[in-house]
Every structure is written in structure tokens, then in C-alpha cells.
């Protein structure tokens, strides 16, 4: 029987008045990639609270959650396990703090990027999903 792993996480899409999006650079197993600030939900923690906590950890910014964008569900078979990721996506806005980088975490840099440049970045696929949810606002919160 193959091992099974399920990970539930919350991420925030923050787009400023200059049409720039705030991203964090993830130190993934296959190298550095750009990702939305956010991450794993602690046991017993509400996703809304998790995205606020993770945003502070990875960017230094305090945020307000504006709306739920939707949920991304990804299943993949890996060499040693079946992996299922559930990503809860929110639209957020900055309410305080200063940009800083996470130390000894899963990210090492946070940076603003013009939305027009996202296609040129080494990024995780869930970033494209989140932007699709942000732009289209599907009624069921799912991109197909």
C-alpha cells in the first residue's frame, strides 16, 4: 500500500494599485520558485487565521482578508506516495508592517512583481490558478 499525504494550506493574493502582486520565493525540493505568500494550516487553526499568520511570517506585512477566491485541489502520484494538496485562496490587502524576508523558513525572499511579468517567472502552478480565480470569480470557487 502506498503512503498517502494530504496537505491543507491557505494563500493570499495581494495586488496593489500599480498592478503588482506580492510573491514569496519558495525553497522547494526542485529549486527556488515563486509562490503566493501563505502555507500550511496548523491543526485546529482556521484557514483565515492561517493566511494572516503565514503572510506575516513570509513578508512582514499585516493583512486583512477581503474575500475567499476559491480552492485549488491537486492530486499527484509521487515515487513513494500519493500526494493531495488543498489550497484555500484568499484576496488580501496590506494594513501594516514593512517588507522583510523570512529567516530559516520555507521562503527566503518576498518581492513585488508587475502582473504582466508573471509569465516569465519560475513559479508554482497554483499561482496561475489563484490568478485565474482572482480574475474570473467563478461562482463555485473552482477553476476547471
Q: What is the CATH number of the domain that holds 9?
A: 3.90.79.10
Question: Looking at the domain assignment, is residue 59 inside a domain?
Answer: yes
Question: Looking at the domain assignment, is residue 143 inside a domain?
Answer: no
Read off the C-alpha cell for 5. 499525504
Alpha-carbon distance 54 to 58, whole Å?
A: 6
Task: Please give the tally of structural domains in the chain.
Answer: 1
Neighbours of 68 (CB within 10 A): 15
Alpha-carbon distance 94 to 50, whole Å?
A: 15
Question: Looking at the domain assignment, is residue 144 inside a domain?
Answer: no
Give the side-chain half-sphere CA count within 13 A for 54: 30
Nearest to 66 by CA among 139, 140, 137: 137
Domain extent for 8: 3-136
For each of the chain's 144 residues, which pLDDT tens digit applies?
Answer: 789 999 999 999 999 999 999 999 999 988 999 999 999 999 999 999 999 999 999 999 999 999 999 999 999 998 889 999 999 999 999 999 999 999 999 999 999 999 999 999 999 999 999 999 999 999 999 987
CA distances from 59 to 3, 16, 74 (A): 33, 15, 25
Q: Is the pTM of this model over 0.85?
A: yes
Question: Looking at the domain assignment, is residue 87 inside a domain?
Answer: yes
Question: Looking at the domain assignment, is residue 48 inside a domain?
Answer: yes
Alpha-carbon distance 50 to 48, whole Å?
A: 5
Amino acid at each position: 500500500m502506498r503512503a498517502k499525504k494530504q496537505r491543507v494550506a491557505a494563500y493570499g493574493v495581494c495586488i496593489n494599485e500599480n498592478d503588482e502582486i506580492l510573491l514569496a520565493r519558495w525553497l522547494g525540493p526542485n529549486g527556488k520558485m515563486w509562490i503566493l505568500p501563505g502555507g500550511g494550516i496548523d491543526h485546529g487553526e482556521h484557514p483565515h487565521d492561517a493566511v494572516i499568520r503565514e503572510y506575516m511570517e513570509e513578508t512582514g506585512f499585516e493583512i486583512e482578508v477581503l474575500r475567499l477566491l476559491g480552492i485549488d485541489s491537486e492530486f499527484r502520484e509521487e515515487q513513494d506516495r500519493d500526494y493531495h494538496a488543498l489550497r484555500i485562496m484568499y484576496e488580501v490587502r496590506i494594513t501594516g508592517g514593512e517588507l522583510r524576508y523570512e529567516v530559516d523558513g520555507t521562503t527566503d525572499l518576498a518581492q513585488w512583481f508587475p502582473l504582466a511579468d508573471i509569465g516569465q517567472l519560475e513559479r508554482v502552478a497554483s499561482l496561475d490558478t489563484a490568478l485565474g480565480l482572482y480574475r474570473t470569480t467563478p461562482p463555485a470557487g473552482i477553476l476547471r
